[in-house]
Amino acid sequence: MPGLDALEREIAELAEQSAVDLAVADAVTAELSSLTGRAADRSGLVKATVGPTGALIDLAIDPRTQSWPTHRLARTVVETAQAAQRDCADAAADVVARLVPPGGRLRRLFAEGLRENLPARAKETTW
């Protein structure tokens, strides 16, 4: 029966593509899970590092900032942490762009996940 043969071939192709997509997704997930983002303020006295979710994992404040008004230091810490988050978002988007073939469902799923879970990228995003 010719219709059944065509259906079996299509199912086999879908299964093969699913296996490829799963391998790519595993590779992307592994790289994303180890990403960090880093930033320093203009003076270099405040430095922030964030993990793959954008959560702050390290903050270094040089003692020379003790002379700064508290509102300036607070604003600098927040802005530096946000810059580190954007750095991480850039790195995550670069991983997806490098490992996931353009177009297709898998690229769209990763792009949506990044948009929902990380701050806007510093660089222009083209999916």
Provide the pLDDT for residue 23.
Answer: 87
Provide the pLDDT for residue 82.
Answer: 94
Higher-confidence residue of 30 and 5: namely 30
Lowest pLDDT segment from 22-26, 44-48, 115-119: 115-119
Nearest to 96 by CA among 111, 82, 85: 111
Percent of the chain past pLDDT 70, that is, above it, reads 91
pLDDT one-digit tens code per residue, 53-109: 899 999 999 999 999 999 999 999 999 999 999 999 999 989 998 998 888 888 888
Burial of residue 46 (CB within 10 Å: 0-12, 13-18, 19+) is buried
Provide the pLDDT for residue 1.
Answer: 54
Provide the pLDDT for residue 105.
Answer: 85
Spell out the residues 6+ positions from residue 80 whose beta carbon is closer than 8 angstroms to its own. Answer: 39, 40, 41, 46, 47, 48
The domains found in the chain, sorted by start residue, are 2-117 (3.30.1310.10)
